[in-house]
Structure 1
């Protein structure tokens, strides 16, 4: 699917398909945004070559799961961004690669499936931003996408708080598996946000021809995107640490409960060891054992065993062992 948004030099907005490219060429003051969703690589390459995009940039855009990056070429700047097509409060998300070719008067976006941020801009203020410059559209795409990430992460904070309460009340292995799964997803998301944070740091630190820092409005938009990705990275790191603390806490509680159980079993064993020893002596089959001929020997031995047991129980309770 090809969607095109054109803003002419006199401020008029047109939406349609690839047929608007000819109108854009005839108006040197116009700006165009071409969005390619799910198109074949041959068709995409043909269009990008028509806009004189560098072959290396095209190859990078077509590489599957290319790390997010920004790179400047002679006629355009390439931004590879890891967007999302779906995301929920359970941190289940479907990422997708979005490649943006940013030129002086055009923006071309490539993505295999639905991109929530691009759809919102096409239905919203994309034409207003495009009228200023295509760079504002590219920055807004990243800013809006980061907003979707942020909304779901903040919802996950409530989920994590409830999970923490459940773990303290009655921790189970099922809860632990959920926490470990969350932690694994947070690691992947933190890696993505680190890449995106690096892109905005480069935009702040270096001059890109198609994203000029000397323009106050452009620099402000770059800073907004950077601050949002910085916050996302901080949130994922914080939630990762909380999940780690919950895992450590659960292991500590389980170890403590196991220690209590083992201490009780040890006390029981310590009580019965001397009793078993006495019973073992009198269980030996010797013909000549003087104690066997005592009339009240049985009662004496049982009394001694009972006294030893009671004394050990009193001693252990005094020491607070159970």
Structure 2
């Protein structure tokens, strides 16, 4: 019921965390008089394209104009900004799993976080929020604001794993066919598409990995004690994904290079055989052309055995050429 009412204001989700792994939804109207106990935190998830959401952020959120400008930018890259009062701005990217979307067309989530409040803004639907609400319903969800932020980052990272694995499997198939079939030709369009997707992922994952590393090193006072370990683990996972993406690009280069080398070898072999064939028949063509001239004085034209002698001469020359080519290892 609250979600339907809140959606009219651009508020996708609104929950008060009880500090024990559960959370209760609240209405948009209740935000004005919301009083949090020390163990409680509030999470507000907004649709940043909604005019009323943008208006609330600027007029009622209590955030500075500079912070609102950053949160409402049309386009941005992964970044982290620590603000006075131990407040944190975090911009993250994740794989787009919405129907009809291209996975590497990354979704963006923008987060403002403090000790008892976390605001997140999205443009496209974010699947992480649905799973987050299910965990709260079971009483096993994040307990404080820092854990909500960590959960969103972890969910975005999990979805990258499946996409990187999918790209790697496609390269495996091409390499397997290339090894088992001498005449197999890799799909160049597929190879270029995978390389383009890998480059697009690296563009956003590299700065995001650095952000996780910064969060692991610089603890905020309101972070849970073991948050740094989880941020460090996310940093290591993104490092592994980036290494895998770089390896994918190198493997694509090797596949295309191998196919180009094979094609060059086939072309060279064909040209070699054509050259041998031309060299083999050149002397024979000269003799048959010479004997085919319609003039007097050709040897054997006045004897009944002339044709047979000409054929024996041609066969002899052909046999000598065959022996010579084999001795020279041309055949």
- Bin the TM-score by the shorter chain: 0.7 to 0.9
Given candidates 67, 83, 97, the residue that maps to 1:73 is 83
**Alpha-carbon spacing, 1:121–1:106, altered in 2? closer, same or farther (3 Å):** same
2:35 match: 25
**Structure 1 regions of 5+ residues with no counterpart?**
none
Aligned residue for 1:113, secondary structure, equals coil
**Alpha-carbon spacing, 1:321–1:4, altered in 2? closer, same or farther (3 Å):** farther
Contact 1:24 1:32 in 2 (8 A): no
Q: How many matched pairs?
A: 315
| Pairing 1:9-24 to 2, within 5 Å after superposition | 13-22=23-32, 24=34
Aligned residue for 1:25, secondary structure, equals coil
| Pairing 1:147-226 to 2, within 5 Å after superposition | 147-170=158-181, 172-173=184-185, 175-205=187-217, 207=218, 209=220, 216-226=225-235
TM-score, scaled relative to structure 1: 0.82
Q: CA RMSD in A?
A: 3.2
Distance 2:48 2:78 in 1: 19
Given candidates 48, 53, 57, the residue that maps to 1:43 is 53
Contact 1:3 1:34 in 2 (8 A): yes
1:275 partnered with 2:275: no
Distance 1:183 1:10 in 2: 45
Given candidates 231, 250, 255, the residue that maps to 2:259 is 250
Residue 320 of structure 1, CA deviation: 4.8
**Alpha-carbon spacing, 1:53–1:208, altered in 2? closer, same or farther (3 Å):** farther
Contact 2:205 2:238 in 1 (8 A): yes
2:312 match: 303
Residue 103 of structure 1, CA deviation: 1.9
Aligned residue for 1:86, secondary structure, equals coil
Residues 131-177 of structure 1 show CA distances to partners (whole Å, capped at 9, x for unaligned) of: 2x312211221112211211333344444323322233345556232
1:52 match: 62
**Alpha-carbon spacing, 1:250–1:9, altered in 2? closer, same or farther (3 Å):** closer
**Alpha-carbon spacing, 1:163–1:210, altered in 2? closer, same or farther (3 Å):** farther
Given candidates 115, 121, 125, the residue that maps to 2:126 is 115
1:259 partnered with 2:268: yes
Aligned residue for 1:267, secondary structure, equals helix
**Alpha-carbon spacing, 1:118–1:309, altered in 2? closer, same or farther (3 Å):** farther
1:102 match: 113
Residue 278 of structure 1, CA deviation: 3.0
Distance 1:167 1:20 in 2: 63
Residue 210 of structure 1, CA deviation: 6.3
Contact 2:79 2:90 in 1 (8 A): yes
Given candidates 90, 95, 99, the residue that maps to 1:84 is 95
Aligned residue for 1:104, secondary structure, equals coil
TM-score, scaled relative to structure 2: 0.80
Residue 237 of structure 1, CA deviation: 1.8
Q: Which has the higher helix share?
A: 1
Distance 1:282 1:94 in 2: 75
